Chain A
């Protein structure tokens, strides 16, 4: 027999003025199963809560309904009070008669009638509530950081400096990411490698960081605090433990004309190579596709050169299984290929390059050792045209969004160009100058005022070659006239896009992504570094285009989230999770399709001899977030959602 206590709060005048609480209390007192029905000015106050506790103890209540403000306000308060009085907290429900009744209605009779319905409905629900226990899961104190760019390195260092273990996985042969490719950084014009390489070394040498380069994530299973991750260690064909990084093999390698990815195709590398001189770890890899031995079966010059016997042509990919508590995804971005703009001639004219290629020209470690030279003939360009938004903010050919960093790096390019090529003239076609950030607008003004970049507001319609020049035809919309510029080089401020395999990878780790492949945060404003999957966090440009300060800030934020998670031995979660009745489950797996969290697994029911007699769905309470979508999918009514069971909801409807 249910013994429900109904506690009707006046909330001062907030409820009392519009709902006749005395009438409500009397009506609820008459309702079957209600043992106590009382009203009070402020139940959330100390004496109010005490009176609830006393009523629970004195009447041995089996359930509590507090008719008061929204459960979003005080559900936890009253559930805690119930627990203190010895009643399972999940036997307490709130009837929202303030936000959704007294505050929104003017007629007292109507409001009272509605309050009665709401409270009665909750009484009927509580009669069918079950005692629930919070779910506790252990936490493995080891973080996985995926991606060794500036965001990944920052996150790894912050976590490791707080004393927790980190595994940093990078798929390229070296740490560094895109930041290592940059020449100088806005708005300070400090050298990118000068600030990046010490961080790379620090991460590699940190006693709490385990670095796995040339490695990729194969699979991720498990849930917050308890992920099992399999990493594929791609074969470098160089034994990482024997190699000293002397570089003799690289010097001797006869396959020297391979286009360098690090130099964006502007420089050349060998088949056994490190992407750049300051690579961390400084251990080369053999590019199997271009290696003469792998192609023809003859050569092995590197192997003969190596005095440490580090070259191993028979090396195979190996796998490493890791137990992980939290994951930071910092997989970065790519630049869009500009060939969709046939009219700009990218890929057709060698002197039309993209912004990242310009960075390599401007970089002291680049193919021209920092001299701005045009690719076609190596001459110094006297006039350079920069075209902003070459892909960004263009729904027809490019992407709809703003890539955020291009206004700033184009201003930087114009400045670097002015500093390196005296007497050179930079023209910049732009749509808007978006220079929001500390010191950013001042920086872009400097490009105009000190370094005399000419900014033309308008788009370019065509680039063509004429008499050894690149003719750029555009429009200056401020002056309202067409412009034609004879340029020596054209630089396109290419859009930032998600990694080409970003969507596939999101499915591997089980996080959400947007239409472009950027990873979705749990809440754009309030939970910007958490993914929708508990225990997986996002840092850097994999979430949206970002500059270095933003990436670093986000990375540090993920570190603080990871450390907060690691500050506990056990995690406690709300027990609002799906449960399955294995006796009636038919194993149709509709629920598996419905579940956004991969929380439903297949479970074998075996007889005494170990023979599988049935396969049923089994909900992993650690992964289940309690949305209940699977319950509605279930064809045999086997699944149910604790706290929102079918019985409870039908009772709520019938109680109205």
Chain B
């Protein structure tokens, strides 16, 4: 039997809601899959589509983005900007052949530790089912564009 595939997932989260929700999952000692690496940003409004592409270029099998619920943004409406940007960017991802299912978008508040843990588990399972993201690995090598700065 082959070894189960362990996806690498990179998460971009805002510090006020989802990062705090992840901390709450920790202080509540909830257990979840260890596949996600979190990158903390002040607000989902700060998340550039380039970060998502960079994560995929780096070799992530999945990317997730999460911030405050609509209406709850600490910076009043950064999450709305993020949502609008994502609506457009998702279509673009699809167009260039990156399955949008590899990029997940969610709202998790500082109080939703349980939701955070469940979300990580769900996403990990979903990405595991999709298998490794190797579509562009070869292309990156061919164009000699090393995944660096």
Contact = CB atoms under 8 A, between A and B. Distances in A.
Contacts of B55: 653
A301 B8 CA distance: 86
Given A99-B27, A121-B37, A627-B74, 7 more contacts: A72-B23, A96-B38, A99-B23, A104-B29, A594-B81, A627-B46, A650-B149
Interface of B: 8, 10, 19-20, 22-23, 25-27, 29-32, 34, 37-43, 45-48, 50-51, 54-55, 58, 74-78, 81, 85, 117, 147-149
A107 B147 CA distance: 30
Interface in A627-655: 627-629, 631-633, 641, 644, 646-647, 649-654
A29 interface: no
A244 interface: no
A100 B148 CA distance: 26
Contacts of B26: 70, 98-100, 103-104
Nearest to A128: B149
A83 B99 CA distance: 46
A117 B48 CA distance: 22
Contacts of A594: 45, 81
B91 to A, nearest CB: 18
A646 B53 CA distance: 13
A631 B75 contact: no
A532 B76 CA distance: 7
Interface residues of A, number: 45
A105 interface: yes
Nearest to A651: B149
A114 interface: yes
A70 B148 CA distance: 28
25 contacts: A71-B40, A72-B19, A99-B22, A104-B32, A104-B117, A105-B32, A110-B34, A117-B37, A512-B76, A596-B76, A627-B42, A627-B46, A627-B74, A627-B75, A628-B42, A629-B43, A629-B75, A632-B45, A632-B81, A641-B42, A641-B46, A650-B54, A653-B51, A653-B58, A656-B37
B22 A111 contact: no
Given A99-B23, A629-B78, A649-B39, A111 B46 contact: no
Q: Top 4 closest A-B pairs, CB basis? A: A99-B26, A628-B46, A629-B45, A627-B75
Interface in A614-631: 625-629, 631
Contacts of B78: 596, 627-629
Nearest to A113: B34
A105 B149 CA distance: 31
Interface string A56-79: 000000000000001110000000
